[in-house]
Structure formats: C-alpha cells, structure tokens
Amino acid sequence: MENNANVKEIIKKLREEINYHNYLYYVKDAPVISDYEYDLLMQKLKKLEEEHPELITPDSPTQRVGGEVLPFFETVVHTVKMESLNDVFSKEEVFDFARKTENALGEEVEYVTEYKIDGLSVSLEYVDGVFTRGSTRGDGTVGEDVTANLKTIKSIPLSLKEKIPYLEVRGEVYMPKESFERLNEKCIQENKPTFANPRNAAAGSLRQLDSKITAQRGLDIFVFNIQQIEGKELKTHSESIEYLTYLGFKTIPIKKVHKSIESAFEEVLEIGKIRDSLPFEIDGAVIKVNNLDQRIRLGSTSKFPRWAVAYKYPAEQKVTKLLDIVINVGRTGSLTPNAVLEPVRIAGTTVSKATLHNFDYIRSKDIRIGDYVIVEKAGEIIPKVVSVVFEKRDGSERIFEMPKKCPACGADVIREEDEAVFRCQGSSCPAQLARNIIHFASRPAMDIEGLGEAIVNLLIERNLIKSSADLYYLKKEDLLNLPKFKEKAASNLLNAIEKSKENDLSNLLFALGIMHCGQRASKILADFYKDIDNIIKASPFEMMTLNEIGEKIAYSVANYFSQKQNIELIEKLKAAGVNTKSKAQDVSDKRFENMTFVLTGALSNFTRDEATKIIESFGGKVSSSVSKKTTYLLCGKEAGSKLDKAKDLGVTIIDEETFLNMIK
C-alpha cells in the first residue's frame, strides 16, 4: 500500500493533468488525448479518492456533479450590483452614447466590442484560486446560490492557475445550438414539452434542484467581466479579459479595441452579419469603454452603467407559406388562431407554427390560408406572422372564419361585444377541464378540501374524471391505485367530496364557472329562483329585473344553460345527490334592508364569510369596496386603506362590539 504522502502527490498530479485536458477540450476546443484516455485518468482519480476520502477537495474534477437534490436555492446578496445594460437600436443612439461619454470625461475614449450572449448571467467567486460560490443575477442585487449546478459546466475552472486572494467574475451561461437541438429531440422522444429557445433552456437547466439533470444539458459559459479582484492591478477591460483567459476561464470573444465609435459601430454591423453562423445564440453586440478608471468616473444611473450599451439587431424576418390556420383552446376557454407554416429557420430555430393573436388581427392584416407571409420572432422568442406578401397571391388562397363550435368539445363559441376573444361555453371541454374542476373544488365554490391541482391533473391523466360531476362517482379503489395515495388520504378526500353535496345552490352556481357570474350574482340568483331548474328556464330579460343582475350576467347565464353538455352535467350532479336548491330562508327580519356593509381588517368573532352571511340573513348587502353608497364599514384589527377612504367619505365606521349589538 502506498503511503499517504505518495497518494496525495499522485492525486495532485492526476487533478492537474485532468484540469489541463478539461481546459484544452472545453475552453480551447483543442483536445490532445482521446475520450478513452481521459476516462481512464478520471477512473484512476475516482478510485484513489474512494480509497482515501480524506483527500477529496471541493475543487477536484470528480466533484463537478453533486450527489444530493437541494430542497431550494439559498439567496446570495451581490456586494457589487450585477447591472443590466441600456439597449440601443440605431446608429444614432450608439453615437449619442459616445458623445455623452466623451463629453463627460473630456478626453479620448477607447471602446471594446463583444458578442451579447443570449443566456443567463451569473457570478463566480474564487478564494485563493478555488471556486467557492456561484450565483444567478436575480434582480441584480439578490440572486440564487447555484454553485453545485455551475460546477457541472466543465469550462468553469474549479481552481485557477494563480492563487489570487479573491476574485469575482461575471459570465453568461448559455446552451450551444447543438445542445439545444439535442435536448428538444429528447423531449419529443419522451413526449415532453420542448423548449422555446436556447436561453429558456439554459435558464431552466441552471435552476434545476438536482445538479445531475443540469449536467446532462450541455451548458457552457463565456466570462466577460471582473466584478471584484484582490491582489492584481488591471488598467483596461481588454487586459482583464487576457488575464482571465490566462487564469483558465473561457472568456468572451473580443473582436478588437477601437479608437473611435465609428470603428466600433462598423464591428457591430459585422457581428450582425455572422450571427446566424455562430454555434451559440447572440441577441446583440455590446460596446464598452475599455479604460477601467474611466468606467469608475462615469459610474451608473439607477438602472444602467454609463460606460456600456447593448446594440440590439432588428428581428430576423423570413418569408414562408401559411399552410393552414388551426385553433388552440386555452385553459380559460379562449380560442386562439395559430398559423401552420412551411418550416423555416429563424434566429437559430426551425419555425413551423406562429401566433396570429386573434381574429381581428387576421382580418386587419388580410391573412389568408395559402398566403406567403413574413414571419419574425417577437423578442426572438415567439414567432409571429407580421404581414402578407400580396404580390405572391395567385387566387387559390382561402379566407379564414372562426368556428362557431369549439373544436375540442363541440359546444357553442361566443364573442363578447367588448372583447377580441372568442370563448368556448362547454363546461366539460377537455381543453379547459383541469381549470374548471380546480375552480369547482375551490373554497368559495364547492370547498372540497384536499382536491388540489396535482390530484386533479392525476385524475384526468388516469381518465378517472371527464367533468366535475365525475368527482361524485369516484371510488376508494380508484384513489388507492394512484401513486402515493394511502388509505387515510383516500378516505379524507371522499369524505370531503361527499360533504360538498350539501352545499347551497349559490355555491354550486358559482362552482360551475359561468362567465361574469361571480359569488354575489350566484347568491342573488340562487336566493331568488330557489332551484337550479328555475334558473335554467329563466330568460335573460327576467333575470335582468333582479337588482345587480345586468345584461352581461343574464345573457351569460342563459347561454350557459342553453348548451346540451352543461344540462347533462347538471343532471349528472343531481343523480349523484348534489343539492341543487337554495337553503336560504325568506328574510322576515329585514333590519339591514337597503344597507350596504364593507368589511375590513381581521375580525375576532367571525370569519369574513360568517359576517357576510349574517348581514345577508337580515336583508343587507356586502360590498368589497367603499363608496358613497356604503352604509357601514365593519372594522377589525389592522384595518387598511378602506378605513382611510371611509373617513374621507364620511361613512359610518363600526367595530365588532357595535355590530354584535346590532344583530342581537
């Protein structure tokens, strides 16, 4: 057995050799050994560290992927603020930046041009040359500790060539185009949603609580700035980048140092010409003052440094054919038209679909199926159809009409007069099923305790429910077959569902999620009509005779109950034993008739719901906002702005003791 001193020396040399090959492969892109030879070196190091765990150090190449999943990220306060750059979009704005800079300094200025990498900005901290902490930018002042995840990026050195006392650098974590394509291919194979662009993919990958997932995503980094440094004096930005490169960092490619803003801007235009051919995404080019002392003198505004700007290139546009217009039904029932395109490559990704916003947008642009259209990425994220190439029309194009029936469920589609959106009226529409059931089970509706979003999605996924009525037909064995569902949890949920059958008609009416029919309108309709069958038969004109039931509510309720699938839902609820009648008693004591109460602050004797029910039982009304029509403001502890407004308007303010006396 080798003695400990010899083992320590062998481990030290192995680490140095592996770090050297990491640098050549991941930073210089110039490997000198095969993957097989590299793997043998790593295996030898791992074996020695397993035999001598006391010799493992945080900067060992074997420590790049953490072994445990974090419950959350710790916060990091940046001692040097990680500022964002001011965006400019024209030559005039670039020259204006230079003019202000040179006037403020009163001397000549050198500029540096760089790629603006489209990724996630991070801080890397080193103590005595060893990587100790890495964090996200966050809001610039407070970020998140993602050290374990950053260690998986092999172009980040875990130890530097010099044991400099302290160094904080800023870099941009990004996903190369090749890694992005590979990740999306994997998502497609596994039936998972794909990522919109490399930036989103990089951000999502770096914020994984399990660093092993991050390690699989193929992230990389360019380091582009020194935030803080001890033990080294540097005079220019270009000098600092050279020094960081020497230390072992993969640094931002600097094109050149410019003696004039004219030269810098020419370089920005040249970068724009080659950006599609780069192996990574850029969303612009950066122009910086090179002299670090001049930067200090220029300082920053409250938002941006005065010594740099980011030039944003115009959105890339391509012409392609619009093959079809398809409708997507959102979780709120909104129908959104989307363009199906002949695939075209824009801003680094292949685009085959694009948003058309809404029907009015299609009409205003005169977009037709079969047109050749100009497509761009809005903010380089969401593809959109900008305009039609009218000269390419040959007469075969078809005018698009919005469907009158929902393509997902067949229910009627309506459009409100003052809305651009068309909406499906189906309560059992599969496209909005999860949202409808989550609302149905919520506390102000049917109040089914324990039925949260995750369980609802699981029940839908297992094909156990296709409408809210199906909740009342669930069996214990259905729930016990779900992952992590135990006997007690199943019993509790079934008991909560059973208990909800006894709710008032007003709860059920609100739970149905009828557009414009909130809690107050549901209560008014339930109290007046007493039975859901009476509401189903009521005309909009009849409903509009009730106080507070306007045209929008009346027509929306009438339209809801005109849909066959909604009536079938009600019948299924009745068959399950769900109460469809009002439990409200006729008010004989109308002491609060024609009075409006507003509640504020924390009440000690009642919940808000209890106080509301008491007021309504005496013929009163409860409003959410204070106005001149408010009769009383019932004020609990820690009252807020409503109390101030009531005082201003001269509204009578009462406490709980006064209220208790009023209801005796």
The residues annotated as belonging to the active site are 116
Contact 405, 398 (CB under 8 A): no
**Quick one: which H or E segment has residue 121?**
strand 120-127
User: Vertex 457, ends 453 and 463: CA angle to 5°?
Assistant: 150
Residues 200, 202, 207, 208, CA torsion sign: positive
244, amino acid identity: L
- What is the spatial distance between Cα 505 and Cα 425, in angstroms, rounded to a whole number? 21
DSSP secondary structure letters along 309-362: EEEPPPPPEEEEEEEEEEEEE-TTSEEEEEEEEEEEEETTEEEEEEE---HHHH
Sign of CA dihedral 226, 227, 232, 237: positive
Taking every pair of C-alpha atoms in the chain, what is the biggest distance, in angstroms? 97
Stated as kind and residue range, the H or E segment containing 166 is strand 166-174
Burial of 613 (0-12, 13-18, 19+ CB in 10 A): middle
- 35-51 vs 4-22: helix axis angle to the nearest 10? 150
Q: Which long-range contacts (CB under 8 A, 24 or more apart) does 67-72 make?
A: 69/209, 69/210, 70/148, 70/209, 70/210, 71/209, 72/209
Strand partners, 287: 113, 309
Strand partners, 531: 581
Decide the pairing of beta strands 120-127 and 254-258: unpaired
DSSP of 618-656, one letter per residue? Answer: TT-EEESS--TT--EEEE-BT--HHHHHHHHHT-EEE-H
Radius of gyration of the chain (CA): 33
Residues 6+ apart with CB under 8 A from 475: none
**Tokens 């496209």 belong to residue:** 431
Question: Which tokens belong to 332?
Answer: 């709120």
Beta-bridge partner residues of 233: none
How many angstroms separate the CA atoms of 47 and 78, rounded? 38
Task: Please tell me whether residue 197 adopts helix, strand or coil conformation.
Answer: coil
**Going by C-beta distance under 8 Å and a sequence separation of 6 or more, which residues neighbour residue 664?**
none
Length of the chain: 664
Would you say the C-alpha torsion 368, 372, 377, 378 has a positive or negative sign? negative
**Mapping DSSP to helix (H, G, I), strand (E, B) and coil, where does residue 144 land?**
strand
Token pair 């930067």 in the structure block, residue: 295
- Answer whether 334's CB lies under 8 Å from 426's CB: no
CA distances from 633 to 520, 611, 636, 647, 653 (A): 18, 12, 10, 10, 5
Pair type for strands 111-117 and 282-289: antiparallel
Q: Tell me the torsion sign for CA atoms 314, 315, 321, 326.
A: negative
